[in-house]
Amino acid sequence: MLVTAGVAVPVVLLLRVDDAALSRWSQVGQALEPVGVFFSGVAFIGIALTLFLQSRELQNQREELTITREEQQRNSEVALRQLHTDLIKMAISDRELREVWPPIAPGIAETKKDHYCNLILNLQKVAYEAHTIELAELRGALRYLMASRDMYRFWTKARSARGAITTGDEAEYFFTAEVDKAFADATPPKAAGLSHTLRHVIGEWSSRRLR
């Protein structure tokens, strides 16, 4: 019904009006044509701007989700590192628990100092992955640590085993490579003197007796 009326009304008007009226209507239409073009352009710009803003909003939402996922992953890794640290602390304080850990290499048992060195290195790794320190600071800390005779000896024993277990773990491989580079650049510490060795042996014997 509406379609029929929409077609019939213009036809009736065209048949009933004269040429002068049609000419005036035509002039009015021509005069209003720029206004229609203007509003059409404004409408197009509005639609384009709306689509652009929606696209930016979706992009920001995706970036926020990515940041949230990365933050959750970092928090999970830090929590696991903390658990690992707690386990090593237990092994340091209890000789029986320390014996649970496998040797660093075949025939080489871990000592309390080895576990402590491992804790120190683990702290540097967590600090770097949590963005508490930058790469230059990490490298400086590793160079400083390798000046320690005990740290140098620990990595001498542990480097081959650590290198074997980092395959497939990009972060672990990167950190192990940085430690190994600091180890390679370090000057091998001098061997401990006889008096130092005797004190160390006596200290170990006394601590075992106290347990």
Q: Tell whether the model's pLDDT for residue 70 goes beyond 70.
A: yes
Q: Is 175 among the domain residues?
A: yes
Residue 27 lies inside a defined structural domain of this protein: no
Tens of pLDDT, residue by residue over 93-144, are 888 887 787 777 777 777 888 889 988 998 898 888 888 899 999 999 999 9
In a domain, 209, yes or no: no
Residue 27 and residue 180: Cα distance in Å, rounded?
87
Is 30 part of a structural domain of the chain? no
| 119 vs 110: CA distance, rounded Å | 13
Q: pLDDT higher for 136 or 33?
A: 136
Q: Does residue 32 fall inside a structural domain?
A: no
Residues contacting residue 148 through CB under 8 Å, at least 6 positions apart: 117, 189
Domain count, the chain: 1
- Looking at residue 48, its pLDDT comes to 85
Region 15-44 average pLDDT: 66
Helix (DSSP H) and strand (DSSP E) numbers for the chain: 8, 0
The answer for residues whose C-beta is within 8 angstroms of residue 175's C-beta and 6 or more apart is: 124, 125, 128
Structure tokens at 70: 């990365």
Distance CA 169, CA 164 (A): 11
Average pLDDT over residues 170-192: 86
What share of the chain in percent tops pLDDT 70?
Answer: 71
Residue range(s) defining the domain that contains residue 180? 79-189
With contact defined as beta carbons under 8 Å apart, do 154 and 113 qualify? Answer: yes
Task: Give every CB contact of residue 69 below 8 A, 6+ residues apart in sequence.
Answer: none
**Residue 22 falls inside a structural domain:** no
d(CA 23, CA 12): 17
Q: Has residue 139 been placed in a domain?
A: yes
The answer to whether residue 13 is domain-embedded is no
**What is the value of pTM for the model shown?**
0.55
